[in-house]
Each structure stands twice: as structure tokens, then as C-alpha cells.
Amino acid sequence: MKFQDLTCMALVALGAIGCGDDSSDPPTGETAELDAELAAEAIEGYADIVHASYADSLSTAQALKAEIDAFLEEPSEAGLTAARDAWKAAREPYLQTEVYRFYEGPIDNAEDGPEGFINAWPMDESYIDYVEGDDDSGIINDPDETIDAETLMGLNEVGSDDHIATGYHAIEFLLWGQDLSDDGPGARPYTDFVDGGTAANQDRRRQYLSVVTDLLVEHLEGLVEAWDPDASDDYRAELLEAEPADAFQRILTGLIVLSGFETGRERLTPALSTGEQEDEHSCFSDNTHRDMVQDVRGMQNVFTGRYETVDGDTISGTSLHDVIEAADDELARAIEAQISESLELAEDLRAPFDQEIKPDNEAGNARVEALIDALADQEADLEEAFVLFGFTVPVVE
């Protein structure tokens, strides 16, 4: 996906064109001067929120690792339930960080961004382990394949984008198994991890789950370090030293792309169109409704300059809203109201999400469609902020 300017980005997101040249006309509209001092304050507040939310993502992933380690030491039904609960808890802060993507920051820069190892999706689960109708599929059931960190990272997305070998969704599949139920999540038995249990290669399955969980923690540690307020040579320092207009533009880019393109059209629209369980984001755990809520909450955090940590502390400061309000108070109010509406509609989704998208569930379909429409409106309002400050969207290869 390549965005040359605001108009081009909007058309790409709508699926209308691919923008591989500079032929699109620039966006038009009244422009205003960015208050550089106010923007600098908002950028610093943003960096504080980013660091805090990644720190929360790391701490909850470490708690997940502790539960998984305990479960693998002595597999039991109670231990598997505790690991599943810890996975869900770990998703809550991480999903709020997805708004930090799409501008070549530490999470997804082309050189060494770990996003593909952390949260890649969709996933062909048969690439990892057995599935219905094929007891021998996957890396786990291939004795010629080594299971260690280097190998699994090397196998991630090899041969196909859905050949996901690491990250939250790999862990999710190993904890729940395939979701073959209309009224609940996957039901992998804990005995899949017990020698002589219900599926072959239990030792390799234990090893796989241990390795991918360790990798998740390791990659999140790198993101916390990249935004460390006490470091002088990390990405945070680079962002704060950049021209305020450039840094502010990066932050807005993350908001726009996550709002319309990624959440609205990459995640929600295909799922609603097909009505298939496999097309929902967290399809093994039936946690997709929380994915939507926390993605939008992350957008709200960034726009309002406010974040509540997992310990209940609140971080707040000068916000994107404040910067836009200084130039166009009506637009600032409109964006804030639209994000609030999107969040309310996300919270209205009913679990399990795979039943919301069933073709015969008119009410559920309407709830999903309403959220898609709200995110499109949100995207359009945010694009007005780009026009207001005369920004063009950075090229994203």
C-alpha cells in the first residue's frame, strides 16, 4: 500500500485506485498555520502515552508468560483457563497501541519493525498445528522442523501472508484451537499438551507455545525501549526533535489509516461480507468484539491525550484535540464526537462476533455496518485536519 497524498490515500482506502505515481491532485481547502509550540507539547504527551501503553503491553505479556510457564510445567484444565484469561488481559493494552502504526515508527518500520512477529493476521492455523480433517498438519507435527526462536521467526509469513508462525494469534490458536462452535470459542483440550494425551507431538506443542510466548515478550521489550523517556537516542527522542509539523503529521497518519482502512475495511468489511468465522480478527478465542473496542479506544487516547494504565493511573496532557482546536474549534469538536460515537458502536457489538456477522442476523449485521460507517466518517473528519494544516501523507511502502 502506497500513499502519495491525502486524496490518493482516501481513494486507496476505498479500493478505488492504486497510487503508484504523483498524478493525483493535492487536497484542497482552507489551511491554517500549525501552532508549533502547542503541537510540540502534544507530541510529547503522545510519546508519554505510547511508552505507558507499551509498558502495560509488556507487563501483561509477562503475566501471560508466567501463566503459560506454569501450565506447561503441569498441564491441567485450570491452568489452561488461567492462560486463556491472561491472553485476553494482555490483549487489552496492546490493542490500544495499534494506532501507533502506519508511519514507519518502531512497530512497523521496513527495516526491523516487529509488528509482523507480534500481531500478524489473518492466520492459516494449519501452518502451525493440526486442524479438523488433518491431524498431521503444521510445524508442530513436522519432526524435521526445529522449534526455536530463530526458526519460527524465519518461518513467519514464508510462502504466504497467512503463514503466521509467531505472535498473539499463534498463541491464541495454541490455547484455544480452532473455533468450530456457533456459541463459543475453540475448545482445545489441555491434554493436547500432556504426554500420551489427545494429540500427537505434545512435547513439540509445549515447546512451540513456550518459544512464541518468549518471543512476544522480547519484541514488546524492544518497543518499550524505543519509547523510553530516559534515553537520548531512541525513537522517542527522534520524534521530539523532529519538526513539530512532521511529527504531528505522523501521529495523524496512524489515526487515519487505522480508522478507515485497517479497522473499517480490512477487518470489519470482509468479515461482514462473508459471514465466516475464519474472517474475524480473533477467531479462536471469540475475542473480536474486544479487538474493535480497544482499537477505537486507542484512537481516542491519542486524540484526547489521555490514557488509563492497567494499574488505574491516568496520563494526560496537551492533545491533538487542543492543537486542532486552536486552528478550527468546530473541527476538533466534530472529530472528538465522531470518535466517541465509534467507541459506543464498538461497545454495542455482541459476543461472539462470529454470530454478529452471520447473514441471517440482521440486527448483528446492522451493528457491524454502523461501526464501519462511523469509522469511515471518522476517517473523513481526520482527513479534514490534514487539509487544514496543508499536510501530505508520508509515502508508506
What are the pLDDT digits (tens) for 94-143? Answer: 999 999 999 999 999 999 999 999 999 999 999 999 999 999 999 999 99
So what's the pLDDT on residue 28? Answer: 52
Mode of pairing for the β-strands spanning 306-308 and 314-316: antiparallel
Residue keyed to cell 485536519: 385
Please name the residues in contact with 266: beta carbons below 8 A apart, sequence gap of 6 or more. Answer: none
- Residue 286 and residue 278: Cα distance in Å, rounded? 11
Q: Cell digits for 30?
A: 482552507
Half-sphere exposure at residue 176, Cβ-oriented, CA atoms within 13 angstroms: 25
SS3 label, residue 29 = coil
From residue 318, alpha-carbon distances to 218, 303, 335 in Å are 31, 10, 16
Residue keyed to cell 490518493: 8
pLDDT digits (tens, 9 = 90+) for 29-56: 578 999 999 999 999 999 999 999 999 9
Provide the 8-state DSSP code for 100.
G
- Listed residue (386, 51, 112) closest to 251, CA to CA: 386
Q: Cell digits for 88?
A: 485476553
Q: Cell digits for 45?
A: 504527551
* Residue 229, φ and ψ in degrees, nearest 5: -70, -15
* Residue 306, φ and ψ in degrees, nearest 5: -140, 135
pLDDT digits (tens, 9 = 90+) for 208-264: 999 999 999 999 999 999 999 999 999 999 999 999 999 999 999 999 999 999 999
Whether residue 396 is predicted with pLDDT greater than 50 in this model: the reply is: no
pLDDT digits (tens, 9 = 90+) for 342-382: 999 999 999 999 999 999 999 999 999 999 999 999 999 99
Provide the 8-state DSSP code for 350.
-
Model pTM? 0.92
Fold for domain 6-389? A middle domain of Talin 1 (1.20.1420)
pLDDT digits (tens, 9 = 90+) for 258-296: 999 999 999 999 999 999 887 888 999 999 999 999 999
Percentage with pLDDT > 90 across the chain? 88
The model's confidence at residue 1, banded by pLDDT at 50, 70 and 90, is very low
Residue 114 near residue 121 (C-beta atoms within 8 A): no
Provide the 8-state DSSP code for 160.
S
Helix/strand/coil percentages in the chain, nearest 5:
60, 0, 35
Overall residue count recorded for the chain in this entry: 397
* Residue 316, φ and ψ in degrees, nearest 5: -150, 155
